[in-house]
Structure 1
Amino acid sequence: MAIQFTDHEIKVNLKDKRKLKSFLKDLFASEGQGLKELHYIFCSDAYLLEINKEFLQHDTYTDIVTFEMGEDPDVTEGEIYISFDRVVENAEKFNVPVNQELHRVIFHGALHLCGFKDKSKEEDALMRKKEDEYLIKYFGSLN
């Protein structure tokens, strides 16, 4: 089971990678989802916009795009692209620390790969609740 973090054309100062990898493994286990491989790619708005257009036919900025790459629905092999530009902007918008917002998005992508959706109002409310739950477990509190 491998979890990787890669900076693409930007530099993200992600602290405690070993702790985060262990926590993500526990998150998948807690949600009853197997994990084979997970690759986070931190990138710019421009790069993620191109991915969003090419693969999802969405011509909009977003903070995250998640891809399930494997064949087995019970075992995750995924790639998660995160726009650090969007993370910084959203942290300012919601008045939260950048590190907290970054981890929220990291957990958000993992939760998508565990089967959680956020298209409807109800799905989005559950996703936010799960994000908060894992942020509190990881940091001990919010903010």
Structure 2
Amino acid sequence: MIQFNYETNFKLESEEIIQSWISACIELYGFSEGELNYIFCDDDYLLKLNVEFLEHDTLTDIISFDYTMGKLISGDIFISVERVHENAKLFSQTIDNELHRVMIHGVLHYMGFKDKTERDKEVMRIEEDKCLDLINA
């Protein structure tokens, strides 16, 4: 089950479409959907989590807590809507495209994709694009 929670003045326009898209991406990689919770928040909210749980005193667009067991994808994905808007401008993307990229980025981490090395980042970007093609089709 995929749920969306809002801790800021933001709401997804098409929750059902996005739920279906995320489910399709999970199935594409041979995984099953468990409990996924998306929490949309602001920079301050996410910064507090970053300091408390990761000991990083920096702004970020996403923090994910992975509860995946085997092939059952589960976790909590916190997304700063403010960072998404800033990054969309920075990377000349639409807000929707940047938001979708961040949303699927967390799920891809749960499936084992990393982004620590330059090669890992390249692979992650390819997989993100593959998933984005599904929602943009």
**Equivalent residue of 2:4, what SS?**
strand
- 1:59-112 deviations in whole A, cap 9, x for unaligned? 111100011135x23212200000001000000111111111111101111111
CA distance in 2, matches of 1:67, 1:99: 23
Q: Which amino acid aligns with 1:40?
A: Y
Partner of 2:105: 108
CA distance in 1, matches of 2:56, 2:31: 28
Contact 2:21 2:134 in 1 (8 A): no
* TM-score, normalised with respect to structure 2: 0.94
| Number of matched pairs | 137
Partner of 1:39: 37
Partner of 2:47: 49
- 1:9-41 deviations in whole A, cap 9, x for unaligned? x12231221111111111111112222100000
Deviating more after overlay: 81-90 vs 110-119:
110-119
Q: Which amino acid aligns with 2:128?
A: E
Moved over 3 A (4+): none
CA distance in 2, matches of 1:103, 1:85: 14
**Equivalent residue of 1:89, what SS?**
helix
Structure 2, unpaired ranges of 5+: none
Partner of 1:136: 133
Partner of 2:27: 29
Q: Which amino acid aligns with 1:126?
A: V
CA distance in 2, matches of 1:33, 1:54: 30
Q: CA RMSD in A?
A: 1.2
* TM-score, normalised with respect to structure 1: 0.90
CA distance in 2, matches of 1:85, 1:73: 33
